[in-house]
A = this chain, B = another copy of it.
Amino acid sequence: MAAAGTATVSAGKGERTAARIREVALDQFSRLGFERVTMSDIAEAAGLSQATLHYHFQDKDQLWRSAMLGLGEVIAEEERMLDAAQDASPLAQLRIAMRFFLRISWKHPALGRVVALEGMAGGERLAWLDEHVLGHRNRRLAALASAAIEAGVLKPFPPEMIVITLQAGAAGVINLAPLMRDTFGFDPDTAEGRAAHESLVLDALLSGFVKSERDI
């Protein structure tokens, strides 16, 4: 029996294929959601039989969890970045976080999509995501927003709402690229599109929450 979850010390063949499976699974789950992806889909994309998936992962749910931990690592990277910037002002840290969020969201569209899919549905998978992947970072961002409000540089709205609105707004253009193509014939996922999006997020979306000099 393979040690699914807790990896053995040195990565043998098993761990390598498990990793490949996780990668493929993350890509597909995030694109289509849990139920639109079948074990055979993943197996095929990974060039394996679907029985092999069940050798490495007890069931579909565990494979999903295991794949999502990949996102956890990406987020951990962001948190280290924030640790390194702890001396900066709360607002400056929020800007850093947003810039990082954009970068990883274009690179792993998985992130925003999974959050959206599970965050709307609620239930066990959301609770698990919250505990193992998202919760800590989101509460940290809310604390930053809260501090920025107290410092008088952000408009006084519930910090939780600010954090969610910023991320949902920023992720919208990325997640909803299919809709934008259908509706507008506009593909945001180009070099120019991403550049325009970055300044849109930083100079319009985020700055809308910043108190202008007038207000001070």
Contact between chains at B120 and A183 (CB < 8 Å): no
Chain B residues positioned under 8 Å from A168 (CB to CB)? 168-169, 171-173, 175-176
Contact between chains at A173 and B184 (CB < 8 Å): no
Which A residues from 115 to 160 make CB contacts under 8 A with B?
115-123, 126-127, 130, 134-135, 138-139, 142, 155, 157-158, 160
* Of the residues B123, B161, B197, contact of A196 by C-beta under 8 Å: B161
Chain B residues positioned under 8 Å from A139 (CB to CB)? 183-184
Q: Contacts A168-B168, A168-B173, A197-B161 known; A178 to B208 CB distance under 8 Å?
A: no
Tell me the interface secondary structure of chain A in the complex.
helix
Q: Which of A30-38, A55-63, A84-92, A98-106 lines the interface with chain B?
A: A30-38
Q: Contacts A113-B120, A158-B196 known; A138 to B204 CB distance under 8 Å?
A: no
Using a Cβ–Cβ cut-off of 8 Å, how many residues does chain A contribute to the interface with B?
A: 64
Q: Contacts A157-B200, A172-B169, A203-B155 known; A183 to B134 CB distance under 8 Å?
A: yes
* Of the residues B31, B167, B169, B175, contact of A116 by C-beta under 8 Å: B175
Q: A175 to B126, alpha carbons, bound, how many Å?
A: 13
Chain B residues positioned under 8 Å from A32 (CB to CB)? 121
Contact between chains at B203 and A205 (CB < 8 Å): no
Contact between chains at A121 and B36 (CB < 8 Å): yes
* Of the residues B158, B169, B181, B182, contact of A205 by C-beta under 8 Å: B169
Q: A197 to B162, alpha carbons, bound, how many Å?
A: 9
A residues at B contact (CB < 8 Å):
31-33, 35-36, 113, 115-123, 126-127, 130, 134-135, 138-139, 142, 155, 157-158, 160-162, 164-173, 175-176, 178-184, 186, 188, 193, 196-197, 199-201, 203-209, 212
